[in-house]
Structure 1
Amino acid sequence: MEYSIHDQFDHVPERLSGLVDLAYNLWWSWNAEARTLFKQLNNQAWKASVHNPVRMLREIPVEFLNRAAADPAYCHRYEIVMRRFRKYMSAAGTWFSEEYGERSPLPVAYFSAEYGLHHSLPIYAGGGSGSSPETT
């Protein structure tokens, strides 16, 4: 039996199943329209999750998901965002694909001791001065 991340989110309606893929891809963190999709499900749940879509989807009552799946305006916005997300994921039309389209995609890795992506994704790196609160 093949495992899918969607198995953990069986309460998400099939109509909105792309939200799970979106939540697990950092694209949402720099795309305001994607973040708005999560916020519009339930603003209070979005705030309670500290703007973390995975956490939000795990904790949001299914009624909010069902309501969104039945809302034509929400579904229209969802389709627009998901179409843009799929285009981004296909890498069609990117600078690299236009400049080096004949080459197969090469893996790129970037390593940094400290960086930030989104406030809901805290990353702590060692170093720095000062003492921890436990030792003061």
Structure 2
Amino acid sequence: MSARAPHPACPCGGRPVGAAFADCCGRYIGHFDEVPAPDAEALMRSRYSAFVREDAAYLLATWHASTRPASLSFDAGTQWLGLAVRGHRAIDADHAEVEFVARSRLHGRATRLHERSRFVREAPGGRARWYYVDGDLF
């Protein structure tokens, strides 16, 4: 009898820390139609995980229609190194901001994306869900 291998931790750092992908961002990414992210921070974390997994369909689906690009491409060879959420602020019931730092490496060069992102909650088709609108870089 062999020991069961542990599930890999979620790229976003997990909620709680070290949570498996399926128990963290995977439930939102894999079941977008049925399980929307409950708040802006959970959506932002799941979007980070989608970047790590190069899941353009999820990223576009969670991008607000007013700012959504027609398509996405990914830099081949990008290695995502980690996510640090610096703050989550609810402005009102349907608007929020999340400040984060995402670290990556591309062709041996380390980079940091420090952004304060804006999110809006809307209910297209009757189901309320959060959408990424835009952000300010630091």
Task: Tell me which protein shows more helix as a share of its residues.
Answer: 1
Q: Same fold (TM over 0.5)?
A: no
| TM-score, normalised with respect to structure 1 | 0.27
Bigger Rg, structure 1 or 2:
1
TM-score normalised to structure 2 length? 0.27
